[in-house]
Amino acid sequence: MKSTPTLHQAGRCRFCEAPLAHTFVDLGMSPLSNAFIKPENYHAMEPFYPLHAYVCGSCFLVQLEEFESPQQIFSDYAYFSSYSESWLRHAKAYTELMIRRFGFNASHQVMEIASNDGYLLRNFKEHGIPVLGIEPADNVAQTARAAGIPTQTKFFGVKTAKELAASGQQADLLLGNNVLAHVPDVNDFVAGMKIALKRDGVITMEFPHLLQLMANNQFDTIYHEHFSYFSFVTVERIFAKHGLTLFDVEELPTHGGSLRIYARHAENGKPPESANVESLRKRETGAGMTALATYEKFSENVRDTKRKLLDFLIRAKREGKSMAGYGAPAKGNTLLNYCGIRTDFLDYTVDRSPHKQGLFLPGTRIPVHAPDRIRQTRPDYILILPWNIKDEIIEQMSHVREWGGKFVVPIPRVEVIA
C-alpha cells in the first residue's frame, strides 16, 4: 500500500502507538460537522481542519488526528437524540432485550456513557431500574435532568470511573451508543469501563461497523467528532488489552450498519463466548480487514461517488429544477463540504430539531429551516442527508408527491425515489 507523502504523517496510532503512514481516505479540509453557524456569525471566519483518515498498519484501526479537544467539540452540542422516532424505537427495544436477557431489575444499576438527553435511560427508569447518565455536553445534560434522569456532566475515562467507584457507583449494565468513536484516548476510555463495571456486570457498546462503512461507501460518516472507526477484530484487541472479553456481538441496521458488542471482565468466565464472535472474526478476516490492500481501494470509491452526485446535481440545475435538503446531520456536513455543495445547488435544508433551526450548516452556510418550509416552497427534489433513516423521512414527507417532488439518496450511490 502507498504511504502518505512524507510532507505529513499523522504521528502514532492512538491504540497501539505504531507509526501512522497509510491513508484510508483524504476528504480535504472541513469544519467541525456539528459547529453550526449562528446568524450573527454568518460573515465570521470559520476554522477548517484536514479530514484525513489513516489506517494503522499494525492493528488496522482507522482514525483521524485530533485537532480539537473533546471539551471544545462536545461541551455545547447540537445533537439531541429524541428527534428521531426510529432511534427512540431502537432504544426501547434495546431496553426490553437487556431486561429479558440478563434479568435486570430494581436491585441493579444501569449506567450510560454519553447519555445525551436521557432518551434511552428513561426506558429503564420506567421499569423501576436505577439509572445514571454520564454526559459531557452541559446543554444536553440539563435537558436529561429536567426529564428526571440523573445525569453527571463529565467526560468518561479512568478518572471519572474511579470517582464513581469510590462513591459506590458501579454498573451492572454499562452501555454506550455511538460514543466509542468519539473519544481520542480510546485506551483511557476502555480502561475506565473496566473500573466502572461490577464484578458480574455486562458492557454493551454500539458503533458503526467499519466493514459496512467500506462495503457501502459510507464516507460521510467520517468527521472530526469521530476520532476512530472500528472493525470487530480491532475492537476485540482493544478491549482485551484492558482485561475485558467480548462474549457476544450483534449486527444491527442502525447508522447504515452497526455492531453491538457485549463485554465482561476477562477473569469472569461467564457468559461464555457465543458463536457470533468467531463467525464475525472469520468473516472480517475473509473480507481482508487485516490486510492493508483492502483499505487502499476505498479512496477511489469515494471519489467516484462524489463525481456521480455532482453530475446529477448539475443536470438537475441545468433543467431548472429546485432542490432542498432534509436533515442537518453531521454526516451531511461531511458530504456537502467534500463535494462542494452549497446554496448554488441546495436552496436550504430542514430539520425537526429546534436546536438547529435558524442556524447555518458549517462550511457551506446552507440555512436550516423547520420542515414546513418544504410544503411552502415545493422543491422538485429533496436530498436526504441522514440516509440511514430515509424510510422514516420519506414516510414523514410523503406529501411532496402532491406536486411531483422526488427524493434523492446520495449513499451508497445516487438514487432517485419518486
Residue 66 confidence (pLDDT):
87
Number of structural domains, the chain? 2
Residues 102 and 233 in one domain: yes
- Report the CATH number that the domain containing residue 114 is assigned in CATH: 3.40.50.150
Residue 67 domain flag: no
Residue 87 confidence (pLDDT):
82
Residue 239 domain flag: yes
Residue 8 domain flag: no
Residue 387 domain flag: yes
Q: How far apart are CA 71 and CA 345, in angstroms?
A: 34
Q: For the chain, how far is it from start to end, CA to CA, in angstroms?
A: 42
Residues 133 and 260 in one domain: yes
Strands of 406-409's sheet, edge to edge? Answer: 368-369, 349-350, 323-326, 381-384, 406-409, 415-417
For 400, the grid coordinates are 411532496
Residues 129 and 220 in one domain: yes
- Summarize the chain as % helix, strand, coil (round to 5): 40, 20, 40
Residues 346 and 289 in one domain: no
Parent domain of 334 = 320-417
Residue 81 confidence (pLDDT):
52
H-run or E-run covering 252: strand 244-252
Residues 235 and 106 in one domain: yes
Q: How far apart are CA 242 and CA 194, in angstroms?
A: 7
pLDDT by residue, tens only, the chain of 418 residues: 433 333 455 689 999 999 999 999 999 999 999 899 999 999 999 999 999 999 999 999 999 998 876 666 555 544 555 556 788 899 999 999 999 999 999 999 999 999 998 999 999 999 999 999 999 988 889 999 999 999 999 999 999 999 999 999 999 999 999 999 999 999 999 999 999 999 999 999 999 999 999 999 999 999 998 999 999 999 999 999 999 999 999 999 988 899 999 999 999 988 999 999 999 999 999 999 999 999 989 999 999 999 999 999 999 999 999 999 999 999 999 999 999 999 999 999 999 999 899 999 999 999 999 999 999 999 999 999 999 999 999 999 999 999 999 999 999 999 999 9
Residue 230 confidence (pLDDT):
98
Residue 345 CB neighbour total at 10 angstroms: 21
Residue 312 domain flag: no
Residues 119 and 258 in one domain: yes
Neighbour-count burial of 376, counting CB atoms closer than 10 A to its CB (0-12 exposed, 13-18 middle, 19+ buried): exposed
Residue 279 domain flag: yes
Q: Is 111 helix (H, G, I), strand (E, B) or coil?
A: strand
For 185, the grid coordinates are 484516548
- Report the CATH number that the domain containing residue 356 is assigned in CATH: 3.40.50.720
Residues 339 and 288 in one domain: no
Residue 42 domain flag: no
Chain-centre distance of CA 157, in angstroms?
19
Residues 330 and 222 in one domain: no
Residue 176 domain flag: yes
